[in-house]
Amino acid sequence: MTNALVPEFAVTDYRRSRNFYCAVLGFSCAYERPEEGFGYLKLGSAELMIDQIGLGRTFGGTSLPDTYPFGKGLNVQIRVPSLRPLLESLKRNRIALYLPLEEKWYLVGPIEKGHQQFVVADPDGYLLRFHEDLGSRPAR
């Protein structure tokens, strides 16, 4: 679509993952090929793809995740205008946070940039770090 880098997550159950991303997290499905277990999802300017292992084209060999959680060593950061709707939906759907809501300030040259953020795991264990921008301040 528009981003130069779009991750594709190999998933075990396309419908379950699509439901999690769309019904729970609020992504929209820009397009999909359900017969291949593939969907291209968007949330604001964030884009990602999900692709069911064993349907359509599957990257084989050692590139496939073999045990839960998938995506070990990786988390993707997704900026949203407000965390509140996500947190409410996760609570309503009884989905636990992987890392709780926190305020973090990151040094970027002479300033610090603030995030309010949390991490949640998708059904296959991919870690999603949602953050709301808190602006910037002079570095301490």
**Using CA atoms, how far apart are residues 48 and 111, in angstroms rounded to an integer?**
30
pLDDT tens for each residue of 21-35:
999 999 999 999 999
Domain boundaries in the chain?
Answer: 8-59+75-138
List pLDDT tens digits, range 55-111. Answer: 877 666 666 677 778 888 889 999 999 999 999 999 999 999 999 999 999 999 999
Report the 10 Å Cβ neighbour count for 133: 12
Residue 59 in 3-state DSSP? coil
Q: ∠ CA 43-31-18 to the nearest 5 degrees?
A: 60
Cα 121 to Cα 131: distance, rounded to the nearest angstrom: 14
Nearest-angstrom CA–CA distance, 106 and 119: 17
Q: What is the pTM of this model?
A: 0.90
Q: Please give the CATH architecture assigned to the domain spanning 8-59+75-138.
A: Roll (3.10)
